[in-house]
Structure 1
Amino acid sequence: MEAIGNGGLGARRNEDIALDLLKFVAGSTGFGRPTTPSAGFSGTAAPKLEEQVNQLLDLYSRCLHVVDGKEVKA
Structure 2
Amino acid sequence: MDQSLGARRNEDIALDLMKFIANTIQIAKPAAASTGFGASTAPHKTEEQVTQILDLYARCKKAVEG
Same fold (TM over 0.5): yes
Does residue 3 (structure 1) correspond to residue 2 (structure 2)? The answer is no
In 1: Cα distance, 2:5 partner to 2:14 partner: 12
Secondary structure in structure 2 of the residue aligned to 1:37: coil
In 2: Cα distance, 1:66 partner to 1:57 partner: 14
**Cα distance, 1:37 vs. partner?**
3.3
Give structure 1 regions of 4+ aligned residues with deviation exceeding 3 angstroms.
none
Q: Which has the higher contact order (CA 8 A, sep 6+)?
A: 2
What code does the residue aligned with 1:67 have?
A: V
**Cα distance, 1:31 vs. partner?**
1.7
Unaligned runs of 5+ in 1: 5-11, 40-45, 70-74
TM-score, normalization by structure 1: 0.62
**Cα distance, 1:2 vs. partner?**
6.0
Unaligned runs of 5+ in 2: 36-41
Task: State the partner residue of 1:15.
Answer: 11
How much identity, in percent, do the aligned residues show?
54
What code does the residue aligned with 1:37 have?
A: A
Does residue 50 (structure 1) correspond to residue 53 (structure 2)? The answer is no
Q: Which has the higher strand share?
A: 1
Q: Which has the higher helix share?
A: 2
In 1: Cα distance, 2:48 partner to 2:27 partner: 12
User: What is the number of residues matched between the two proteins?
Assistant: 57
What code does the residue aligned with 1:54 have?
A: T
What code does the residue aligned with 1:31 have?
A: I
